[in-house]
Amino acid sequence: MVSRAVLLLFFVVFTISYGKNLKLKDVPPELSKYYPPKSENMEFVQLMHTLSTAMTGVVVNLKEEDWSSAQEWAERLQENYLKIGEMVKKWDKVLRKREINMLVDAVREKQRRSNETHSDCW
């Protein structure tokens, strides 16, 4: 039941909440430094791919009740999500930092409870 609550929190954070608050007329000029011709590495696109992989990792591991792996992926998601604000200062104020922290805390708590339950079995 807790995993459903964590999944619900996850989807609320990254779909409805984030989309409603991010309304851009123009792409911030500072974003251009992460794309050609200024950068051949396309760091911002790489970050978006990393975030996508981390989100998938969280969801898959939550569904499989692999709390340890879910925690690892949630922490990666948090770390990379916060990089958005470092890369594009204009977006830092609209990032849902509280919610991403809540997600990581919820997964950690589930991992902790799972460890306690399994240690009682031995």
Report d(CA 21, CA 14) in Å as an integer: 11
Q: Which domain holds residue 61?
A: 2-121
When divided into structural domains, the chain yields a total of 1
pLDDT digits (tens, 9 = 90+) for 29-39: 899 999 888 99
* Confidence (pLDDT) at 22: 61
For residues 5-23, average pLDDT:
63
pLDDT digits (tens, 9 = 90+) for 75-97: 999 999 999 999 999 999 999 99
Q: What is the mean pLDDT of the chain?
A: 85
Q: Cα–chain-centroid distance for residue 50?
A: 10
* Confidence (pLDDT) at 106: 94
104 neighbors 74 (Cβ within 8 angstroms): yes
Report d(CA 96, CA 99) in Å as an integer: 5
Report d(CA 83, CA 54) in Å as an integer: 14
